[in-house]
Amino acid sequence: MDRRVRAGMAVLASTVLAGVLGCTNVQPEEKIVKDFFRAAKIRDNAALGASATVSFEPRTEGTVQSLTFVGVSPERSTPLVLKQYDDTFDKVRAAEAEFTQRKNAYQRENIKAIQRVIQAEDARKAVSKADLKVQAEWNTLREEAVKHARAVSDARMQLSNAKALAELSLSTPNGPTPDVTHMTGQIMAKDVTADASIKLPDGKTTDKQLVVTLERAVVKTEKGTQQTGRWIVTRVRDAKAGKTS
């Protein structure tokens, strides 16, 4: 074989091997983080919505120009207690429904006095002595209504936040949203640290070390089968300043 041909083949083999080795050095976490910042840079909301619960807003935080990965933390886990949140939500809704019935019954029985109280309050006039007891009771009921509404709102938000991550992690492209309410399992998390060159909104460039948190659901279905979800970007913070994005 001609020496030049052998030399050319050797160079080609070396190049291919280097390419293969280069690919094997790219960790899955690095690809996830790179894809996240690439989508954030061009404001690809569809991609971000499918892979993250946060963003990195170009107009306020800038755009990541390059990344040098520093390390990945060990995984940590927290229990996924969706059923507990669901039960709590059901309880506070039932309590609100029972209260609403009681409030409505009192309102029907005292509607004329309540109307006089409201008219006096709107006109900033003193309530008649005959209506003072109704005013006190009606004020108590109004305060209770606010407390029940807040409890339901908080429980709904807690359940929604817990479900959102599990649903996103376990979902498949163009597939139905999985019903995770009665699933049990863990939320796994790890942090990816990278040195980033960031172009700020004013055009200047700065260097920051960013910590990107990845989370995914590992659950058991009601049938007992285990499902492992995709890693989702749930937090971005400046390693030094500790700010979230």
The pTM (predicted TM-score) of the whole model is 0.66
Provide the token pair at 105: 């019954």
Provide the token pair at 51: 């892979």
Q: Would you state the pLDDT for residue 145?
A: 96
What sections of the chain are H helices per DSSP?
A: 3-24, 28-41, 45-51, 58-61, 82-109, 111-122, 132-170
Nearest to 56 by CA among 238, 239, 204, 215: 238
Mean pLDDT in consecutive groups of 10 residues from the start of the chain, 245 residues: 43 38 61 96 92 93 95 92 86 97 96 95 94 96 96 91 87 81 87 96 94 94 83 93 49
Q: Would you state the pLDDT for residue 103?
A: 96
| Separation CA 11–CA 22 (nearest Å) | 16
**DSSP conformation letters of 136-186:** HHHHHHHHHHHHHHHHHHHHHHHHHHHHHHHHHHH--TTPPPP--TT-EEE
